[in-house]
Structure 1
Amino acid sequence: MLIAAVDVGSARARAGLFTPDGQLVARTSRGFDTRHASDGQAGFVFAEIWQAVSDALAEARQQAGTAPERIGALAFDATCSLVVDAPGFAPDVIAWHDHRAVAEAAELSDIAHEVVSRAGGAVSPEMQTPRLIWLRRHRPDIWANLRGIRDLGDHLAFRATGIATRSHCAAAAKWPWLPDQGGWAEDLLTRLGIADFPHAEPVLLTGAAIGPLTEPAAAELGLTRSCVVASGMIDAFAGALGAAPGMPALIAGTSNCIMALDVPVGPALWGPYPGAILPDEAVTEAGQSATGALLEWVRRQYPDAQTHDQITARLARMPEPGAGLHVLPDFKGNRAPFADPLMRGVVHGMGLDRGQAAMDALYWRAAVGIALGTRQVIDHMGLTPARLGMAGGQARTALMRQLYADATGAEIHWQPDDAVLRGTAIAAAAPRAGGLRAARDRFARPATVTAPDPQGQARRGRDWAVFLRMQQQRDEILNMTKD
């Protein structure tokens, strides 16, 4: 039997096939589009995501040379995008990075409630409660006709099985659901006027069996009805499960997240969320928005088409470029430590040259700024980790792993076989493997370890001093320009 894992990110659906002992035998991906609109709005079309999932799974089966009936388990992870299942709402998925609900998030943040406390005291517009408020106020026609409203990963599982459930991970981390205090915060929902949204589905722990594929879903995914779907996770949580156990995890993809245990409630910290990954642990998340998206934006400015791998391979062969160039990477707001979705980035020392060398320098210095932001998040969480398990697209190259080691002072432990897909495969395998922890132990692989380099640490130390000073200057300028 093979185990299938599907990871739906910001622009691509990735599929992986694993053996029961955790060996990755195939990995593929297919893209889908983002619809951008005014006022910070962005969305996806669920049908396009589903088609990308189907195509990725079909190619993975072909790559592995396996028959559909050999795949007996499946789980999904996804960004915390919101699927609005209602006639007339298009695009029908509100993207995770959509900021239409900034005002609603600010209003919610002023309410003294445990849900707000676990959101760091300043609710992000990327969470689902402010989006529910926005829909109720701005689209009452849609609200009145909701058939369902779910996290993207949960809706993928619903589309696959026909069984409506919610994942414990998404419910605890992004919705007004308190697993250690009885579940849904009905008092808050009533106060906000949104208690009537559909939310009667059972909430399942990560790795709990939901049920087999429906006949139509099996046909669309190229699988059989004997394939059982398990409850999945938000993508960053899947990466934390699949990364090296026993240490905090750095998920460095489209955004950066630090996931750690035993972190108390604090400003700009998301959590702790009991059972969001393993049932007997509470995890806290803090991070940076749109970090990988910033590198992608820089990539698109090159005069000639470039891939991230081409750029980083070139950077690894040259002396460190970009002397005098410094970047604050908050181009899509700041999650931690400032919890300000309206904060914006800063570039100091940029010239007019747009040739390849100049763009290489900007790419590298943006990466340095992102890594320094990760250091600041770790400090804000009160952590001094000697080791970090790393996952996500930014972890693919030795250059980036060395950068994070030098910026944070921690050893970087990286599993080459894709920790995010691995974490989701662990969830898929859990019903037949004796539980989530047993499946994780079975799937564990040796990690590649990158130690901090003293010379690199010295360079990042100088950059750190500039980074902090630029933040102070940004604050001073904002105070000078306030009405």
Structure 2
Amino acid sequence: MLIAAVDVGSARARAGLYTLQGHLVARASRGFATLPSPGGQAGFAFAEIWQAVADALAEARRMAGASPAQVQALAFDATCSLVVDAPGFSPDVIAWHDHRAVAEAHEVSAIAHEVVARAGGSVSPEMQTPKLIWLRRNRPEVWAGLRGIRDLCDHLAFRATGLPARSLCAMASKWPWLPDRGGWADDLLARFDIAGFPHDEPVLAPGSLIGPLSEQGAAELGLDRECVVATGLIDAFSGALGAAPDMPALIAGTSNCVMAAGIRVTPALWGPYPGAILRDESVTEGGQSATGALLESIRRQYADAPSHDDILARIADAPEPAPGIHVLPDFKGSRTPFADPLMRGVIHGLPLDRDAAALDGLYWRAAVGIALGTRQVIAHMGLVPDRIALAGGQARAALMRQLYADAIGAEIHWQPEDAVLRGTAIAAAAPMLGGIRAARARFAREVQVTRPDPAARLRRDRDWKIFQRMQQHRAEISDMQGE
């Protein structure tokens, strides 16, 4: 028996196959395109995402030598992208990082409401409420023709099973839905005239059984109809589930998210969200947008397009580069602590050189700025952790794990196998193993611990002081410009 987990990120669909004992057997991925357009808009084609999912699953099965009948459970995680199932709307997936609804987000943020409070007092244009308002106002013909509108992880499960269901994880964290106050915030829907979309599907906790694959879903995914699908999660929440338990988790991928339990409602933090991961626990998220995307944008400037691993290996083998460059990494706005989607990044000390050595320096100093931003997020959350569980693509490199340990001043606990896929596999296995906690215990793996290097403390403390001063200067310049 094998368990399948599918993670749909910002550019790739990844599929992993696990044994019921939690061992990763095979993993494969396939890419899909981002379709940008003016005005801060970006989207995906769901058909392309779905094909990438099917291809990744097929490749993982081929690598494992597994027949369709051996895969008996499946779950999906995904970015909080919005699937608009309606005639005439293309691309039909609004990307999570799409900022077309900045004005609508500002309008929602101006009212006193629990949904706004749990968004840290400032609703992000990356959440679904402002996107719903934008769609209702700007594309009324699409709104009128909606067959469905869902978070991407939910639409993937719907396409697989034909059974409508919504993940409590996505609903609590991205939609006007309050799990501890009766569900849909009907007053907010009415206030903005957005109550008319299809939204009567059941809301299920992560790891709940949805049902078996439909005939169409089984054929498209190359699996048997006896394979059952469980409710998935938003990708960062899945990473927190799959990371080392009983400590805050940092999911460092395209963006950075710090997830922790037991935090009260606080400005510029998202949450607390009851039941978003575990039924009896509320989780809060603080984050930075487009961190990994910043590193990727620098990688693309190299003439020979090296991998991130190649860049980091070269940096690790030489003295720390470019100490005179300092980076504020908020090139896609600030989630925490400023809650400003229009904030932009700053680079100090940038030379004209664009050879590999110069780009290595810029890459590394951007990574330092990201790690310092994570330190600031953790402090804003009121946390003083002695250990942090690290997950996401950035966690694969030992140099990045050391950087986070040094910048935060805490041990980094990393389970070498992919924590995001593992979290989704835990959700898929939960109906078979007696619940999500039991599945998490079964799937846990030995951690590698990275401790702060005392020799790096002086450098990072200096970087931290400069980081804060640059933020002050940025704020002064914005005030001078009247922004």
Q: Structures share a fold, TM > 0.5? A: yes
Report deviation, 1:135.
0.2
After the TM superposition, which of the residue ranges 216-225 and 328-337 deviates more from structure 2? 216-225
Report deviation, 1:82.
0.2
CA distance in 1, matches of 2:222, 2:18: 17
CA distance in 2, matches of 1:481, 1:101: 24
CA distance in 2, matches of 1:74, 1:478: 48
> Which residue type is aligned with residue 374 of structure 2?
T
**Helix, strand or coil at the partner of 2:286:** strand
CA distance in 1, matches of 2:407, 2:264: 24
> Which residue type is aligned with residue 55 of structure 1?
D
Aligned residue in 2 for 1:159: 159
CA distance in 1, matches of 2:453, 2:38: 45
**Helix, strand or coil at the partner of 2:198:** coil
> Which residue type is aligned with residue 165 of structure 1?
A
CA distance in 2, matches of 1:106, 1:266: 18
**Helix, strand or coil at the partner of 2:232:** strand
**Residues 336 and 377 in structure 1, CA contact (< 8 A), matched pair in contact too:** yes
Point out 4+ residue stretches in structure 1 off by more than 3 angstroms.
none
Report deviation, 1:87.
0.3
CA distance in 2, matches of 1:455, 1:322: 18
TM-score (norm 2): 1.00
Report deviation, 1:457.
2.2
**Helix, strand or coil at the partner of 1:181:** coil
**Residues 303 and 354 in structure 1, CA contact (< 8 A), matched pair in contact too:** no
After the TM superposition, which of the residue ranges 296-305 and 74-83 deviates more from structure 2? 296-305
**Helix, strand or coil at the partner of 1:446:** coil
Report deviation, 1:144.
0.4
TM-score (norm 1): 1.00
Q: How many residues align?
A: 483
Aligned residue in 1 for 2:425: 425
CA distance in 2, matches of 1:219, 1:393: 31
> Which residue type is aligned with residue 51 of structure 1?
Q
CA distance in 1, matches of 2:305, 2:294: 17
Aligned residue in 2 for 1:169: 169
**Residues 40 and 98 in structure 1, CA contact (< 8 A), matched pair in contact too:** yes
Aligned residue in 1 for 2:443: 443
CA distance in 2, matches of 1:336, 1:145: 37
Aligned residue in 2 for 1:18: 18
Report deviation, 1:42.
0.2
> Map of 1:26-37 to 2, 5 A cutoff?
26-37=26-37
Report deviation, 1:232.
0.2
Report deviation, 1:147.
0.3
Aligned residue in 1 for 2:328: 328
**Residues 86 and 145 in structure 1, CA contact (< 8 A), matched pair in contact too:** yes
Q: Does 1:290 align with 2:295?
A: no
Aligned residue in 1 for 2:272: 272
CA distance in 1, matches of 2:242, 2:458: 31
CA distance in 1, matches of 2:239, 2:387: 16
Aligned residue in 2 for 1:358: 358
Report deviation, 1:440.
0.3
> Which residue type is aligned with residue 319 of structure 2?
P
Q: Structure 2 regions of 5+ residues with no counterpart?
A: none
Report deviation, 1:458.
1.9
Q: Does 1:400 align with 2:400?
A: yes
CA distance in 2, matches of 1:137, 1:104: 10
Aligned residue in 2 for 1:72: 72
Q: Does 1:94 align with 2:81?
A: no
Q: Structure 1 regions of 5+ residues with no counterpart?
A: none
Aligned residue in 1 for 2:338: 338
**Helix, strand or coil at the partner of 1:122:** coil
> Which residue type is aligned with residue 67 of structure 2?
A
CA distance in 2, matches of 1:138, 1:107: 15
> Which residue type is aligned with residue 322 of structure 1?
A
After the TM superposition, which of the residue ranges 296-305 and 227-236 deviates more from structure 2? 296-305
Report deviation, 1:459.
1.1
Report deviation, 1:303.
2.1
Report deviation, 1:397.
0.5
